Structure 1
Amino acid sequence: MTVAFVGAGNMGGALVERLCEAAWPVTVCDTDPLRQQQALAAGASLADTPLSAVAQLGPQDALVIVVVDADQCREVLWGEQGASFGLRPGQAVVLCPTIAPEDTVAIAQRLAGQGIDCIDAPMSGGPQRARDGRMSLMVAAPQAVVDRHAKLLAALSLNVMRVSERVGDGARTKLVNNLLAGINLVGAAEVLAVAERMGMDLATTLDVIERSSGQSWIGSDRMRRAIADDLAPRAHVTLLEKDTRLAVAAARSVGFEGPLGTHAARVFKDAAEAGMADLDDAALLSFLRRPAPRP
């Protein structure tokens, strides 16, 4: 089986490396020259456009989209030189970005009109987990579609989470997961900022938290980097700003307004507007260390 990727950034690039190492034929389309060179070094072929990326796909092969948002997904599929113009019935689009459920459903319906399957498959866990197969892949699609592409899904992750047969439920699951991740990260950054004001050693404090009831994976992962002043972007602040915003909007669409999600989303928005948008989201500690504005 052949796989086409559009998007070979932190997550997409890790998946490209994983599949190439397993001897899958992979074609990559990415606009960033650095990502192109990394894909070549991994053993992938390059394509100039999404349309040319899918040119060599076989009758039951797939396109994996790993971009940032719904607008980019639509551009990949239906923009000038869009992949959908080269896809054929029986092939599938594996949709991995974190986007609103209604966008996932609309994209799937439009593809279905062309006889093309859509697998709603957002992912979570970060680049290293994607590279070694430990990331979560949240899959929602009809069973027959999943069965046809089971080998690819298993190659992408050892942790394929079968959510439902309803496209859109993968997106819904990812949003509630990322809302909790955002809440946990804001909480972890806040308590370490408090601990620092109290004169405590942050590394020791985090050691205790990791062995106590306040532990969270994202809190430990990001705050360890923040303490080391390692803000090289693995996941930009803009990503959880987008994801928490979409999650809060999804909650409101079903009449739910919780006490924490809105506040967490506001912290990410404020951090992005304060100039931290392109930093790793571990920068939240630096943001919360800042003195509060005077009234």
Structure 2
Amino acid sequence: MRTVAVIGLGAMGLGMAKSLLAAGLVVRGCDLSAAAVAALAEAGGTGCATPAEAVQGASVVVSVVVNADQTEAILFGPQGIAEVMPANAVFVSCATMAPEKARDFAGRLEALGRLYLDAPISGGAARAAKGELTILASGRPEAFAAADAALEAMSAKLYRLGDAAGTGAAFKMINQLLAGVHIAAACEAITFAARQDLDLEMVYEVITASAGNSWMFENRIPHVLAGDYRPLSAVEIFVKDLGIIQDMARAARYPVPLAAAALQLYLGAAGAGMGRDDDSSLARLYAGLSGVTLPKGESVS
């Protein structure tokens, strides 16, 4: 039976590990959280103390960390796994990062006789646990072949976007541009509706049945209506991702004014102490600027 190591057992990583187990794969995993490691063991996997321990005997390593810096530390840091992974094992990198970072990591890892698959993900924790993620992958054909069983177990839609690492990362950044702008627009709209003294539950019902709807409006505005800002996707994620988009656009001499405006809102929310709260907290930022009262619930800030 093929062994898969999962590095990072947060909301996404633990769900992905469970979907791998459900597909009959052997799963080893590690995380800084002892509770997350225990949850993997309870689900039938093997909890490990370090990434180096987790990758022992693994033909596939799935890295579900936050950013390029964490990915680099896992691979090439003082306790890195690049030379500990079995020869010809494939490192499946799911972090959202700039394309040039993915290309750099792929080149360095392949020089050591291992494979790299640039494979950012989309879909959220619930879909991760069901093995229904969208995976935007690019890399060498042999990397796809080595990771095939794991990719099939984790995804409902697997896009094979080319033979070069970095392409998957670029696709993900286009998604993040739209997602970040759509969340900002949704939060602006619902708070403006509150400023007009409209029934917000009815606004939600009307908009989700109308042309102005978006996936993000439909998904995030219930958080605002419940007054529940526990983080399913934190404000700081879009501070990072829209910042990457700004860097990419600057290098390409390409204007992204909507993404730039949205980034300022996420920065404002983070600066106001909401960086670790749900990204629907942009509605709270708008409310604070305009004197609007939003529904009260289980808020975290």
TM-score over 0.5 (shorter chain): yes
Q: 2:127 aligns with which of 123, 129, 134?
A: 129
Q: Deviations over 1:231-285 (max 9, x none)?
A: 1211111111111111121122111012201001111111111100111112121
Q: CA deviation at 1:200?
A: 0.4
Equivalent residue, structure 2, for 1:75: 73
Which amino acid is the alignment partner of residue 52 of structure 2? L
- Name 1:5's counterpart in structure 2: 6
Moved segments of 4+, more than 6 Å: none
Q: In structure 1, the residue corresponding to 2:222 is in which secondary structure?
A: helix
Looking at structure 2, the residues matched to 267 and 258 of structure 1 have their Cα atoms a distance apart, in angstroms, of 15
Q: In the alignment, what sits opposite 2:41?
A: 40
Q: TM-score, normalised by structure 2?
A: 0.93
- Pair 1:209-2:207 in alignment: yes
Offset of 1:292 from its aligned partner? 5.0
How far apart, in 1, do the equivalents of 2:156 and 2:96 lie? 20
Task: Tell me the amino acid that sits aligned with residue 136 of structure 2.
Answer: M
**Equivalent position amino acid for 2:144 in 1:** V
The more displaced of 114-123 and 200-209 is 200-209
Q: Flag structure 2 segments of 5+ consecutive residues without an equivalent.
A: 292-301
Question: SS where residue 291 of structure 1 aligns?
Answer: helix
Cα displacement (A) at 1:138: 0.2
Question: Per-residue CA shift, 1:16-53, capped at 9, x if unaligned?
Answer: 11112222111111011221121112111111111111
Deviation sequence 1:151-177 (CA, Å, 0-9, x none): 211111121112222210110010110
What are the within-5 Å matches in structure 2 for residues 155-194 of structure 1?
155-194=153-192
| 1:23 counterpart letter in structure 2 | G
What SS does the aligned partner of 1:199 have? coil
Measured in 1, the distance between the counterparts of 2:233 and 2:39 equals 18
On the 8 A contact 1:141/1:167 being kept in 2, the answer is yes
Q: Which residue of 2 aligns with 1:54?
A: 55
Counterpart of 2:104, as a letter, is A
Q: Distance in 2 between matches of 1:126 and 1:163?
A: 21
Question: 2:268 matched to which residue of 1?
Answer: 270
How many Å separate the matches in 2 of 1:231 and 1:274? 14
Counterpart CA distance in 2 for 1:147 and 1:79 is: 27
Q: 1:36 corresponds to which letter in structure 2? A: V
RMSD: 1.3
Q: TM-score, normalised by structure 1?
A: 0.95
Instruction: Name the structure 2 match of 1:150.
Output: 148
Deviations 1:198-251 (A, max 9, x none): 000111111111111111112211111121112121111111111111112112
Unpaired segments of 5 or more residues in structure 1?
Answer: none
Instruction: Name the aligned partner's letter for residue 20 of structure 1.
Output: L
Name the CA distance, whole Å, in 2 between partners of 1:164 and 1:260.
29
- Separation of aligned partners in 1, 2:230 and 2:290: 26
The code of the aligned residue for 2:141 comes to Q
